[in-house]
A and B are shown apart, each in its own frame.
Chain A
Amino acid sequence: MVKVGIPRALLYYQYYPMWKTFFEGLGAEVVVSPPTTQATLAVGSSRVVADTCLPVKVFCGHVLALVEKCDYVFIPALRSVKSKIYNCSKFLGLPDMTRAVIPECPPILDIDIDINKGKRKLYQAIYSLGRNLSWNPLQVRKAALAAWHAHQEYKELMINKGLTPPQAIARISEAATPSPNPKQAAIALIGHPYLLYDELINHRLTHRLEQAGYRVLTPEMLTDEQLETAITRLTGKPYWTYEEEVVGSGGHYLESGVEGVIGVVAFGCGPDSLMMDMVQRQAIRLRTTPFMSLTLEEHTAEAGVVTRLEAFLDMIQRRKRREAKVCV
């Protein structure tokens, strides 16, 4: 059986169930690189120029982990998924960049996704991708439709059940995951999935919040309408692809009654520096929900994240205690 490798990085958390269904529908076996480790980051960093952002370094590490483990590696060039809204340049050139820096990479299955070129071009692109594994156009069509359904189911699981992407992926593969308790005090984490769910680069942020007794809410648990409403309120019209994850979810959660909102950004990310600033300004304007932004880099020591997180939780708790005293 043909093996298709999928790096557990960047867009993995958004689209994995869809991609897996598509390739399996074409008779391939899907291999995912193991979770990020210090070694993944180290080998990834060694391939790219120092100024490359942390998530891309991690991505290269995951591609390297798939070398000799599969026949193809799937790396899409996701240019645009909404009319006239484009992605960061690192996503646009991801397959080409990978080819250039990892020459030993197995053949790359790439696809250009650009909604602006019309649906017809998109279908053609999907068909060309499928043709790498099957000569039968009907089978490609069937696999693509199944993939689309899998994606919808995945999204619903996160929106309706309040699961994070890793929990939803585990649920799909039928591992038992605890269902969150909607009454528990919650903290919202906002930012791109490749930062929020990579436990190595974020120093187990979700785990730490759960240990402190909070339920963690993330952008994927919101509906498209909720995200769009919040973006319209904050900036008018989105400019960047995945602006929902930052501005949309940030704007929504700041007014949702959560205990606090934590924005996670990668050091040196251009789009994030603009988007997270919008959320920070909104937090200052509203003054209702505590907000903090955390910048992630290659630091191996956890102290930076731990100190800020402790101070943030203290701030929330002391504020609550004070409010309780005033009420009495």
Chain B
Amino acid sequence: MEAYLGIDVGSVTTKFAVLNQSDELVFHLYLPTQGKPIEMVQEGLKEVKKQLPKDIDIGGVATTGSARYLAGVIVGADLVKNEITSHAVGALHYFPQAQTVVEIGGQDSKIIIIRDGIVTDFGMNTVCAAGTGSFLDHQALRLNMNIEQFSQRSLESTTPVRIAGRCTVFAESDMIHKQQMGHRTEDILYGLCQALVRNYLNNVGLGKDIQPPVIFQGGVAFNQGIVKALREEIDTEVIVPPHHEVMGAIGAALLVHEETSASKQKSQFKGFGISEIKYRTSSFECKACPNLCEIAQLSLNGEVLARWGGRCDIWERSPTS
């Protein structure tokens, strides 16, 4: 069986999706990145190998997400694609009629506007990560509950309180203030969901023509409170697809399938064996100019595989020198 693998290494979670020749999802995996993207890619590959039939032949691998270049070097990716394109392609595969994609992840949030099956506009949160998954996690932790409990309890709210969602620092002090005044936790939780949705629409969604159907993707779509608040706020059809959390990985796999069938090239995939290899990462300060760039490098057995982080190409161009 020929299969296509998409790996989405985000700031908070790492996602794997395996598609067969007819682009059907045969296996998917959702792991916490835990600040260790390399180890998580290796661990994920081990799991993918375990779950797939022995005669599997990987026809192409694509990486996406904020660690896409790093992951791409490790697995030998045929395609390294940004997460905006990947999410759009994933959404369109399941919903060809989609007009809007809302994606809220661990550290960033995006909106993609689609008309007649092509992306016409997109937006991403600008300079701060207010209102994304990490903040919700942090608040759940502060209230001594897990994120599933957060999701469930926010639905039990009857009179949600108003919370400033413009900045997470303000939101947190607002929440504490309301809690000390005796408001119910459920109402505070749902109030927070509403605040984050408002913030998302006023920032990322500013000036965007949001038309139904709206596809809600990313890890935050697990949160029932946010889904409900989004539905209420935009007052239109919001679809949360079954595999919303791995949609970026699915999109990447679809793209690499498309590309390898067009080019008929053999996959560069380094095989599942790489999950046993010990990669080493290190960094140094380049002293070639006053920019003093922090160069990160990935090496294997003393040989440098890749370097990043320069403001010029001197290190990227010569990974072995």
Contacts and interface: CB of A to CB of B under 8 A. Distances in A.
Determine if chain A interacts with chain B: yes
Interface of A: 37-40, 199-200, 203-204, 267, 277, 280-281, 284, 287, 290-292, 295, 297, 299-300, 302-304, 306-308, 310-312, 314-315, 318-319, 322
Given A277-B207, A295-B126, A314-B85, A37 B121 contact: no
Contacts of B126: 267, 295
A291 B294 CA distance: 32
Contacts of A303: 66
A308 B291 contact: no
Contacts of A292: 122
B11 to A, nearest CB: 10
Nearest to A280: B207
B266 interface: no
Interface in B293-310: 293-294
5 contacts: A38-B290, A39-B290, A200-B311, A290-B120, A322-B118
A267 B127 contact: yes
Given A281-B207, A322-B118, A307 B291 contact: no
B289 interface: yes
Contacts of A199: 311
B52 interface: no
B124 A307 contact: yes
Contact of B82 (A200, A291, A295, A310): A310
A284 B209 contact: yes
B259 to A, nearest CB: 12
Given A284-B121, A295-B126, A315-B118, 16 more contacts: A37-B291, A39-B290, A39-B291, A40-B290, A200-B291, A267-B127, A287-B120, A295-B127, A307-B66, A307-B124, A314-B84, A314-B85, A315-B85, A315-B122, A318-B119, A319-B120
Interface residues of B, number: 24
Interface of B: 66, 81-85, 117-122, 124, 126-127, 207, 209, 289-294, 311
A9 to B, nearest CB: 16
Given A284-B209, A299-B127, A310-B82, A38 B292 contact: yes
B318 to A, nearest CB: 17
Nearest to B65: A307
Contacts of B311: 38, 199-200, 203-204, 302
A303 B66 CA distance: 8
Contacts of B84: 307-308, 310-311, 314
A39 B292 CA distance: 8
Q: Is the interface of B mostly helix, strand, loop or mixed?
A: loop
Contacts of A287: 120
A311 B293 CA distance: 25
A307 B122 CA distance: 12
Contacts of A300: 294
Contact of A318 (B118, B121, B289, B290): B118
Contacts of A319: 118-120
Contacts of A37: 289-291
Nearest to A39: B290
B252 to A, nearest CB: 12
Contacts of B207: 277, 280-281, 284
A199 B289 CA distance: 14
B290 A322 contact: no
B233 to A, nearest CB: 21
Nearest to B87: A311
A304 B39 CA distance: 24
A303 B11 CA distance: 12
Nearest to A306: B82
A300 B295 CA distance: 12
Contacts of A306: 82
Contacts of A267: 126-127
The 4 closest A-B pairs by CB, nearest first: A311-B84, A310-B82, A37-B290, A314-B85
A38 B292 CA distance: 7
Nearest to A268: B127
B209 A308 contact: no
Contacts of B119: 314-315, 318-319
Contacts of A203: 311
A199 B122 CA distance: 25
A311 B118 contact: no
Contacts of B85: 310-311, 314-315, 318
A236 B127 CA distance: 32
A308 B290 contact: no
A300 B118 CA distance: 32
A278 to B, nearest CB: 11
Nearest to A318: B118
Given A38-B292, A277-B207, A284-B209, A307 B118 contact: no
B82 A322 contact: no
